């Protein structure tokens, strides 16, 4: 597969910074289990160590209540690292599978179901484009029934960066999956209240909204 190449500072030429797998450990809670490239240079791909700026990444990628759904997607933001002032955009697809269905069952798997999320961290808010590709790979990753098979995740990183270069993106592609129409249909006349809150720069909390739905409505209103 064609490699995407890197900038002089080591950053990828394409929009994707990292592919991350987050799992739920029965004693430690949500934790990073895999990252490519490693979140911290010099660490292994299986390191649990997080940059201080991204210490909440596991909880954003595998949110509270995720166990109530067989699968779902969430979007989120991460603060910039190294003081470069650039927001990092996250897309996370999470699923669960019965432990007895796994071909390779690790010793720390003690529950009847295993839940993990596959997450893309990007320099650009390409939510719809990245989600479409990520959902397919997440499904394939779970179908392997062996979470040590990480080659598909490395290939995803290379493919996304080679196929989503800035020159190949059209304006409409950037907003794929973010529908203002859905926002209006969901909230109806209350859209005006939300619009006023946005103008006032107030924080708005969504309750009892499925993960992906809440994310789409949030980013459609921005």
Closest C-alpha among 131, 147, 156, 122 to residue 74: 131
Q: Are 126 and 173 in contact (CB under 8 A)?
A: yes
- pLDDT (0 to 100) of residue 192: 86
- pLDDT (0 to 100) of residue 219: 47
Measured at the CA of 178, the angle between CA 174 and CA 183, to 5 degrees, comes to 155
pLDDT digits (tens, 9 = 90+) for 165-194: 755 566 666 666 667 777 788 778 888 887
Q: How far is the C-alpha of 59 from the C-alpha of 30, rounded, in Å?
A: 6
Q: How far is the C-alpha of 42 from the C-alpha of 151, rounded, in Å?
A: 19
- pLDDT (0 to 100) of residue 137: 95
- pLDDT (0 to 100) of residue 93: 94
Beta-strand pair 88-98/71-78: antiparallel
Two structure tokens written together for 20 = 């991350």
Task: Give, as one character, the DSSP assignment of residue 144.
Answer: T
Q: How far is the C-alpha of 213 from the C-alpha of 211, rounded, in Å?
A: 6
Closest C-alpha among 151, 166, 138 to residue 16: 166
What count of other Cβ atoms lies within 10 Å of the Cβ of residue 137? 19
- pLDDT (0 to 100) of residue 26: 80
Instruction: Provide the residue ranges of all domains of the chain, joining segments of one domain with +.
Output: 16-168, 178-220
- pLDDT (0 to 100) of residue 172: 61
Reported CATH class of domain 16-168: alpha beta
Residue with tokens 């098979």: 149
- pLDDT (0 to 100) of residue 151: 95
Q: Which residues of the chain have pLDDT under 50?
A: 1-4, 8-9, 213-214, 216-217, 219-221
- pLDDT (0 to 100) of residue 20: 98
- pLDDT (0 to 100) of residue 55: 95
Residue with tokens 């699968």: 71
């Amino acid at each position: 597969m064609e490699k995407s190449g890197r900038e002089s500072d080591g950053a990828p030429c394409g929009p994707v910074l990292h592919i991350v797998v987050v799992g739920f450990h029965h004693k430690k809670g949500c934790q990073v289990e895999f990252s490519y490239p490693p979140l911290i240079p010099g660490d292994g791909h299986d390191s649990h160590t997080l940059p201080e700026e991204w210490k909440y990444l596991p909880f954003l990628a595998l949110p509270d209540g995720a166990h109530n759904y067989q699968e779902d997607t969430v979007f989120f933001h991460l603060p910039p690292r190294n003081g470069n002032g650039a927001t990092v955009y996250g897309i996370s697809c999470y699923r669960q599978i019965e432990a007895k269905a796994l071909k390779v069952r690790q010793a720390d798997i003690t529950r009847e179901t295993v839940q993990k999320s596959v997450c893309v961290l990007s320099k650009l808010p390409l939510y719809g484009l990245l989600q479409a590709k990520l959902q397919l790979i997440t499904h394939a990753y779970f179908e392997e029934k062996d979470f040590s098979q990480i080659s598909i995740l490395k290939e995803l990183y290379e493919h996304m960066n080679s196929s989503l270069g800035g020159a190949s993106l059209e304006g409409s592609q950037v907003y794929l999956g973010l529908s203002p129409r859905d926002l209006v249909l969901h909230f109806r006349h209350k859209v005006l209240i939300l619009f006023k809150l946005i103008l006032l720069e107030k924080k708005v909390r969504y309750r009892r909204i499925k993960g992906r739905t809440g994310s789409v409505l949030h980013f459609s209103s921005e």
